[in-house]
Amino acid sequence: MVTDIVTVNELVKRFHFRRTDGGLLPTFSGGAHIVVEMRDEERTRLNPYSLMSSPLDTRDYTISVRRDDAGRGGSLFMHSRVEPGQRMVISSPVNLFSLDLRARKHLMIAGGIGITPFLAQTAQLAAEGGNFELHYCFRNDGVGSYADFLRQRYDRKVNLYRSDLQETFELERVLATQPLGTHLYVCGPEGMIDWVRATAAGLGWPGETVHYEHFAAPQPGKPFDVTLALSGIDIRVGEHESLLEAIEAAGIDPPYLCRGGVCGQCETNVISHDGKFLHNDHWLSEEDRRSGCKIMPCVSRFEGRSLVLER
Amino acid sequence: MGINFRQETFRNDFSFKNSPEQIRRFPFPFHEDGYMYSVNIEPHVPGPKNTVFEHLFDVDEHYISEMRDRAMVLAEDPLRCQSLPHMTLAGWDTLELLMTEKAKSYPDLFSLTRDGDKWHWINRPLGIDDRFTFGDTSTLPYGPLEYITRQSQGDFAVLDQRDGNLWMDAGMVTTQADWSLDFDIGMNFFEWHAPVPLAHEMGVFNRALKFLMAIQQGQPARRFNWTMTINPRLDTSPENYHKWGTDRTTVTPDNVGHKVHLRVEVQMFFRLPRSNALLFPIRCYLIKMEELVSSPKWARRFHRVLRDLPDELAEYKGLVRYRPTTVEWLSKYDDGQPTSPGFGPD
């Protein structure tokens, strides 16, 4: 049940969930997300959100939702249609962005709403005396969700950068001065993730010490038609619908975990196609893409005459 | 209820036996008259009464004796239980899972009382009554993984999940089919499966890894594996190969019935919530050929499986020396009749 909704700033609302029977929710680890089911008349949306509450207190789960006016409507639904007291179905927590517990130090870099998994991870680390340092970049005071909270709680472990004040995050200096055994985590917009990964690679950080989470939501696009060969069904993917959602709406349940093009679970074989793929995932290899034999229906789309999938 | 715990041995005089009730609940792993690898994973949900799947963690008549055997193995070789430094949290996850499930499944045998992080654990069959602070290793006589797996049948591998792979970074392994935790510790999924024949070419491991990495909290899975063991020895480890390797030369037509055992592993997979590690319990069940043939269907089917097993698999499972003798013995129980589908006895 939604127990509370807090307006954090002009773009972000925070939602608190508790069990309807008052019991504890499942234990989780920092970096985990849940999938929230939104029933919007005849459509069902399933959107993933990072858990930001402390893993040490599972009486409630909290998530923050940034309103995306150009998106497919999931965040707008959360912002405008969800009210305290409402019952919603959420999934068990899944962690695709977990801390590497071998690290001697955890260096975290967040951009914008990408701060949310770090709120849970810092709470977890602080409780066990873990060594962490957080760098948080955001546009202005109005959208710096939880900046004050983090600063108060963790003081100098937290570094804030406001782009409206031309405060620059000297990434190279920060990366160059870390002790051996540090692991790097980055969550934020795609450009930031690419920048951090490239800079780290250039400075010789081993790939396995660099962890990142894209929270790319599926993008809207032109409608397209698909034939699901195994089920013998033809479907149309609407403008504000993902291919995965359209497949689910047809009564077929492919496996999924992240719904964001990262985990690989919903990978689907292409039997034939005549047109162009719009691959938006971070899962398929270049070779997979060139072959035209695979698509990630959670985030990717298609433009063309025909697409036949092995579903 | 109440389980009639047997006093028996898995070494020296090998007094291990299954009661008729235990034979009936034996997890016979062949659903058809042949065997080839498959990932064969299914959800690990509680099953019918009087089966080994009635509870998530089965406790049976061999419990006390198996735990005594484990203690003997550990006394000789402490490296059978290891946990790399970053795996302590996964050890606490394991302890919580085993304690809560055991107390829920067998309230007359186990009890757990929790007041915040002050926990009180009672294990009546083993005579244990301990109070400790959850998360504080100094309040237990062993590390959390060792403490609870000294009280739980089956081996336990604890796999860290990172870099798109699973890593064998902790475990308790004393009832294994010829593999070594001390050898495998720190290896990833492909490294520790490297010796398995055929399966790599079949792409089994890529599919299995993808599935395992996606195992979610509260949705455990299980699969069967099997081999054969001469004498009811739990500890068939590489470390002790000199003690059991030669057993395989001792099979004669007269002793197959009580010397040759089908060894079935029920392998389970649980996502651990705090550490995000994967717990991989491997529970070993042994049954003598003379016990197995008390079910005519199992007798017919196992005869056919063993007779038709590809040579590579027989080699890998170490059955080559005594397979002909055992097949010959089993053939007396195979009248050529068809077998019914499914695992259970008729």
> Could you list the pLDDT tens digit for every one of the 311 residues in chain A?
999 999 998 899 999 999 999 889 999 999 999 999 998 887 888 899 999 999 988 999 999 999 988 888 889 999 999 999 999 999 999 999 999 999 999 999 999 999 999 999 999 999 888 999 999 999 887 777 799 999 999 999 999 999 899 999 999 999 999 999 999 999 999 899 999 999 999 999 999 999 998 766 788 899 999 999 999 999 999 998 999 999 999 999 998 888 888 888 899 999 999 999 999 988 888 888 999 999 999 999 999 999 999 99
Instruction: Name the B residues in 189-218 with CB < 8 Å from any A CB.
Output: 210, 214, 216-218
Answer with the one of A181, A214, A247 that is the final residue of a domain: A214
Q: Which structural domain range is residue A190 located in? A: 105-214
User: Read out DSSP for chain A?
Assistant: -EEEEEE-SSSEEEEEE--TTS-PPPP--TTEEEEEEEEETTEEEEEEEE--S-TT--S-EEEEEE--TTS-SHHHHHHHH--TT---EEPPPEESS---TT-SEEEEEEEGGGGHHHHHHHHHHHHTT--EEEEEEES-GGG-TTHHHHHHHHGGGEEEEEGGGT----HHHHHHTPPTTEEEEEES-HHHHHHHHHHHHHTT--GGGEEEE--PPPPP---EEEEETTTTEEEEE-TTS-HHHHHHHTT-----S-SSSSS-TT-EEEEEEEEEEE---SSS-HHHHHHT-EE-TTT-EEEEEEEEE--
A168 assigned to some structural domain: yes
Instruction: Give alpha helix (H) positions in B162-308.
Output: 181-184, 189-192, 204-213, 241-244, 256-259, 289-292, 296-308
Give pLDDT, residue B293: 97
Tally the residues of chain A.
Answer: 311
A256 assigned to some structural domain: yes
Taking residue A27's Cβ as centre, other Cβ atoms within 10 Å add up to 16
The pair of three-digit structure tokens given for residue A11, joined into one six-digit string? 């773009």
What total of structural domains would you count in chain A? 3
Give pLDDT, residue A252: 93
Answer with the one of A214, A240, A271 that is the final residue of a domain: A214
Catalytic residue among B68, B114, B223, B307: B223
A292/A253 same-domain check? yes
Best B117, B207, B276, B279 member to test A by mutation, with max A CBs in 10 Å, is B276
Contact check, Cβ <8 Å, A94/B162:
no
A199 assigned to some structural domain: yes
On whether any CB of chain A is under 8 Å from the CB of B275, the answer is: yes
A207/A228 same-domain check? no
CA A191 to chain centre: 15
What is the C-alpha to C-alpha distance for residues A299 and A46, in angstroms, rounded to an integer?
12
The CATH number given to whatever domain includes residue A286 is 3.10.20.30
Longest dimension (CA), chain A: 59
The residues, ordered by sequence, that sit 6+ positions from B93 with a Cβ below 8 Å of its Cβ are B272, B273, B274, B275, B277, B279
Q: How far is B187 from chain A (nearest CA, A)?
A: 15
The CATH number given to whatever domain includes residue A166 is 3.40.50.80
A113/A82 same-domain check? no
Of A29, A255, A257, the CB nearest to B276: A29
Provide the Cα torsion A235, A240, A242, A248; round to 10°.
-60
The pair of three-digit structure tokens given for residue B185, joined into one six-digit string? 């510790």
Of A29, A92, A208, the CB nearest to B275: A29
A95 assigned to some structural domain: no
Tell me the residues of A at the B interface, defined by beta carbons under 8 Å apart.
Answer: 26-29, 31-32, 55, 92-95, 98, 100-102, 207-208, 255, 257, 263-265
- Three-class secondary structure of residue B44 per DSSP: coil
A84/A112 same-domain check? no
A123/A23 same-domain check? no
What is the C-alpha to C-alpha distance for residues A183 and A227, in angstroms, rounded to an integer?
44
- Regions of chain B short of the pLDDT cut 50: none
A115/A196 same-domain check? yes
Give pLDDT, residue B200: 67
Sign of the C-alpha dihedral computed for residues B7, B10, B15 and B20 taken in this order: positive
A172 assigned to some structural domain: yes
Give pLDDT, residue B92: 97
Residue of B nearest to A212 (CA): B163
A197/A237 same-domain check? no
pTM listed for this prediction: 0.86
* Interface TM-score (ipTM) > 0.85: no
A97 assigned to some structural domain: no
A160/A191 same-domain check? yes
Please answer whether residues B133 and B139 qualify as being in contact, where contact means their C-beta atoms are separated by less than 8 angstroms.
yes
Residue B223 is a catalytic residue: yes
Closest CA to A303 of A246, A212, A223, A197: A223
A144/A167 same-domain check? yes
The CATH number given to whatever domain includes residue A20 is 2.40.30.10
A116-127 vs A147-154: helix crossing angle, rounded to 10:
10
Please answer whether residues B269 and B215 qualify as being in contact, where contact means their C-beta atoms are separated by less than 8 angstroms.
yes
Q: How far is B70 from chain A (nearest CA, A)?
A: 29
What is the C-alpha to C-alpha distance for residues B258 and A106, in angstroms, rounded to an integer?
57
Contact check, Cβ <8 Å, B218/A100:
no
A189/A254 same-domain check? no
Best B134, B162, B271, B279 member to test A by mutation, with max A CBs in 10 Å, is B162
Contact check, Cβ <8 Å, A26/B86:
no
* Interstrand relation of A89-90 and A132-138 (parallel, antiparallel or unpaired): unpaired
Among all chains, which residue has been given the structure tokens 């504080």?
Answer: B136
- Three-class secondary structure of residue B306 per DSSP: helix
A99 assigned to some structural domain: no
Answer with the one of A214, A249, A266 that is the final residue of a domain: A214
A121/A200 same-domain check? yes
Dihedral-angle region of residue A112 (phi above 0 means left; psi in -120 to 50 means alpha; beta otherwise): left
A98 assigned to some structural domain: no
Give pLDDT, residue B162: 92
The pair of three-digit structure tokens given for residue A267, joined into one six-digit string? 């990978």
In the sheet that holds A61-66, the strands lie side by side as A2-7, A12-17, A61-66
